[in-house]
Structure 1
Amino acid sequence: ALIGPNGAGKTTVFNLLTKFLTPTHGEILYRGRTITAMKANEIARLGLVRSFQISAVFGHMSVLENVRVALQQKLGNSFQFWTSERSLRELDEQVMQLLAEVDLQAFAQTLAIELPYGRKRALELATTLALDPVVLLLDEPTQGMGSEDVDMVVELVRRAAVDRTVLMVEHNLSVVSRLCDRITVLARGSVLAEGDYETVSADPQVREAYLGSEAAALQEAHA
């Protein structure tokens, strides 16, 4: 996980990794190769895929159709209304497998706009998994959620991390303590500390960077 106070540079790191920002100097390495000069779509094809902070789905398409579009993008096929029934059936079998991963099978024919907020985030995760990420970047996956939805998303992220790397930006320190085995703390664009949650939460520099109530939350999340 990447954590740190507001303005630390967490989302900027994601923007650099996925080329929403171009670095002015330095080098970005991914799995031993430089991706500094690559385009966003080239990086995604390498398996570095980002799920956005704000849920971005097609509201007036069904849950199944949303994931199908993402899957077609991965396969290199644009969305076609006249695709053969056999091709659609084969795609939809894969879609249902992805929906099963995020507990959305029962919502397959539901319009995305009708989903509760937590389920929309689950749908967003399914569309991201359809791109077959090697490294999954999650930007504030539990933002704006109640405790029940947070627990659901924590479990979904835990499942997603079984056979891939997950790097997340998350302000909910309880979520970080439950999910993350390695944490990097940023402050003013620099790395302040790295390690497991117990290590970074006890670091005096980290506690000073968070200050006041945030520092207390940092410690309480580990208690």
Structure 2
Amino acid sequence: MASDVILETRGLTKEFRGFVAVRDVSLRVKRGSIHALIGPNGAGKTTVFNLLTKFLQPSNGNILFNGRDITAVKPADVARLGIIRSFQISAVFPHLSVLENVRVGLQRPLGNSFHFWKSESVLDRLNGRAMELLEDVGLAGYAHRPAAELPYGRKRALEIATTLALEPEMLLLDEPMAGMGHEDIDRIAALIKRVSANRTILMVEHNLSVVSNLSDWITVLARGEVLAEGPYAEVSRHPKVREAYMGSGHA
């Protein structure tokens, strides 16, 4: 049923001065799923993310969210509709405390984002929800520490908490495991699984073991086109997928 599909692209194409980075990509992301977008370097994964969040305008094709055509919608309006992207580079305010970082995210839906001059009494009302989010991502014990002091993996957890503060219906994760050691990878993978309980996640990820453990559905891109789709067990056996990854060692 169409209502089961939260995000759909039809013939999505992006051309840069004669170079086609994304060609005729048609995605169907099922509501409530964890959908992974994988492929060798240069496959067009980040370009697709930039098209979905409207940092790039497609040369051709359409993007639909909850059945609504959002192809011409501006980036800020896409976020207001409920599609929030967490960037590959950790995006936190380093000199604010962990709690204050999440509180900034909570202010945005209230229409007073970044109003640091608001009275403490107004901001303190947000502390309860901020602490709940920090509890969800395992950072409650770090609430009053400057974000700059967090280890890398926990900064990524903080970034996810601030993203969740915006109450996304759909969360786009851009290489959430990039640069992490095994312990952090396991922690963030468990976190992603936990926060997926009542939302849809589309993620670009290089770590195939993470993809195999987390994803309900996988779309493989190669040279800007969809090479294969399906559950991991099926996709990983696909001859063209194996060929695309031969010698690369990662997605």
Normalised-by-shorter TM-score class: over 0.9
The reply on whether 1:134 has 2:169 as its aligned counterpart is yes
Following the alignment from structure 2 to structure 1, what is the Cα–Cα distance between the partners of residues 64 and 88? 24
Partner Cα separation in structure 1 for residue 44 and residue 54 of structure 2? 15
Consecutive unaligned residues of structure 1, counting only runs of 5 or more, are 219-223
User: Does the aligned pair in 1 maintain the 2:105–2:113 contact within 8 Å?
Assistant: no
Which residue is 2:74 aligned to? 39
In structure 1, what is the equivalent of residue 195 of structure 2? 160
Deviations 1:111-139 (A, max 9, x none): 01000000000000001001101110000
| Structure 1 position 8 matched with structure 2 position 43 | yes
| Aligned counterparts of 2:87 and 2:116: Cα–Cα separation in 1 | 27
Look up the SS of the partner of 2:77 in the other structure: helix
Q: Helix, strand or coil for the counterpart of 1:166? A: strand
Q: 1:221 aligns to what?
A: none
Asked if 1:60 is matched to 2:105, the reply is no
Aligned to 1:75: 110
Structure 2: distance between partners of 1:193 and 1:82: 51
**Rounded Cα–Cα distance in structure 2 between residues aligned with 1:116 and 1:197:** 31
**Aligned-partner SS, 2:197:** coil
The number of residue pairs the alignment matches comes to 216
C-alpha distance in structure 2 between counterparts of 1:81 and 1:15, whole Å: 30
Between the aligned partners of 1:148 and 1:198, the Cα distance in structure 2 is 25
Aligned pair partner of 2:237 in 199, 202, 223: 202
SS at match of 1:27: strand
Secondary structure of the residue aligned to 1:162 is helix
Distance 1:206 1:81 in 2: 49
Equivalent in 18, 23, 46 of residue 53 of structure 2: 18
Q: What is the letter of the counterpart of residue 156 of structure 1?
A: L
Q: In structure 2, what is the Cα distance between the partners aligned to 1:125 and 1:204?
A: 35
SS at match of 1:45: helix
Identity %: 66
- The structure in which a higher percent of residues are strand is 2
Query: What per-residue deviation string (whole Å, max 9, x for no partner) do you get for residues 15-50 of structure 1?
Result: 000011111111111111100000001000010000
What is the Cα deviation at residue 87 of structure 1? 2.2
Which residue of structure 2 aligns with residue 176 of structure 1? 211
Distance (Å, rounded) in 1 between the aligned partners of 2:89 and 2:49: 14
Q: Which amino acid aligns with 1:212?
A: G
Matched residue of 1:28: which SS? Answer: strand
Please tell me the residue identity of whatever aligns with 1:141. P
Unaligned segments of structure 2, at least 5 residues:
1-35
Q: Which string of whole-angstrom CA distances, capped at 9 and with x for unpartnered residues, describes residues 154-195 of structure 1?
A: 011001100000110000001001100100000111111110
Higher helix share: 1
> What's the TM-score, normalizing by structure 1?
0.94
Per-residue CA deviations over 1:76-116 (Å, capped at 9, x if unaligned) read 11333443444222211111111111011110101010000
| CA RMSD between the two structures | 1.3
Q: What is the CA-CA distance between 1:213 and the residue it aligns to?
A: 5.2
Query: Which of 175, 179, 186 is matched with 1:144 structurally?
Result: 179
Which SS does the other structure have where 1:50 is aligned?
Answer: strand
Relative to the length of structure 2, the TM-score reads 0.83
Equivalent residues in 2 for 1:83-162, closer than 5 Å:
83-162=118-197
**Offset of 1:73 from its aligned partner?**
1.2
- Between stretches 26-35 and 74-83, larger displacement belongs to 74-83
